[in-house]
Amino acid sequence: MTSLFNLIRYLKVKLVVNTLWRWSPKSYLRSISLFSATESDTVWQLIHAFYMIENPKHRAEIFTQILEEDFHAKQFEDLINITEHADNYKVPFEEKKFLYSKEDPVWKLLAYCYIGEKDAADKFKDIMACSHNPDLKRTLAKIIHDETSHVGQANSILYELGAKPSEIKIELWRIRLIRKYESLVRNTKRIFEVIVDALLAIIYFTMGLLVSFKAKSIILDRKNS
């Protein structure tokens, strides 16, 4: 079952890397910007985790991981910044919300990060296998190396923090389901957006001419302050 999922994921990545990214440099840059934003979000969640943990040793581990994730975000950003008008390709900032509150046990937040790390590492490995872009491959190689060690590290802190293995297992499955659900919502939203765009196009092009006369008269009138 898992290997079937992996295969589907690989094929999806291959399709994106070899067709979409090749035809549309803009969509490549948007994806890279999205990777950067995801790394930054991990940093942000980890900063929250840092303040939820009291053990200085665990805090130190989180600290170095924060540095690494921030480094990854920067690496992705550098890939975009080599293009002119790089800012046009960057995804806008998302509204932030902590995944877990201060009342939740911190291991749950770390479990979430663990799944995130694992997914990212897998995805980056697939991209690495399909891509022919040397800059991107160089960046990914470094990041994959870090992510693999983060997965191990997150796993061990998780158990050291005293959660029962059965609890962890349940939580990991819960998180996986949530992430699947979230990606389903994202995809549905995308389809929905196509419909909304079409509706807006109809409104714009049918009513636009009339409204534009009014708009022009308002703006021209307002020119005289």
Of 22, 63, 57, nearest in space to 43 by CA: 63
CA distances from 10 to 58, 127, 128, 177, 206 (A): 34, 8, 11, 20, 43
Nearer to another protein, 1 or 191 (CB): 191
Residues that bind another protein (CB under 8 A): 40, 43-44, 47, 50-51, 54, 56-57, 59-60, 63-64, 66-67, 70-71, 77, 84, 87, 93-97, 193, 196-197, 200-201, 204-205, 208-209, 211-212, 214-216, 218-219, 222-225
CB of 160 to Fe ion, least distance (A): 18
CB of 56 to another protein, least distance (A): 4
Dist CA 69 CA 36 (whole Å): 9
Q: Residue 205 burial by CB count (10 A; 0-12/13-18/19+): exposed, middle or buried?
A: exposed
Nearer to another protein, 10 or 71 (CB): 71
CB of 131 to another protein, least distance (A): 23
Query: Phi/psi at 83 (nearest 5 deg)?
Result: -90, 150
Residues that bind Fe ion (CB under 5 A): 39, 69, 72, 117, 147, 150
Residue 72 contact among another protein, Fe ion, none, beta carbon within 5 to 8 Å by kind: Fe ion
CB of 37 to another protein, least distance (A): 9
Helices (H) and strands (E) in the chain, counts: 7, 0
Residue 10 contact among another protein, Fe ion, none, beta carbon within 5 to 8 Å by kind: none
Residue 97 contact among another protein, Fe ion, none, beta carbon within 5 to 8 Å by kind: another protein
Residue 54 contact among Fe ion, another protein, none, beta carbon within 5 to 8 Å by kind: another protein
Rounded (10°) angle between helices 56-81 and 25-52: 160
Q: Residue 68 burial by CB count (10 A; 0-12/13-18/19+): exposed, middle or buried?
A: buried
Nearer to another protein, 22 or 96 (CB): 96
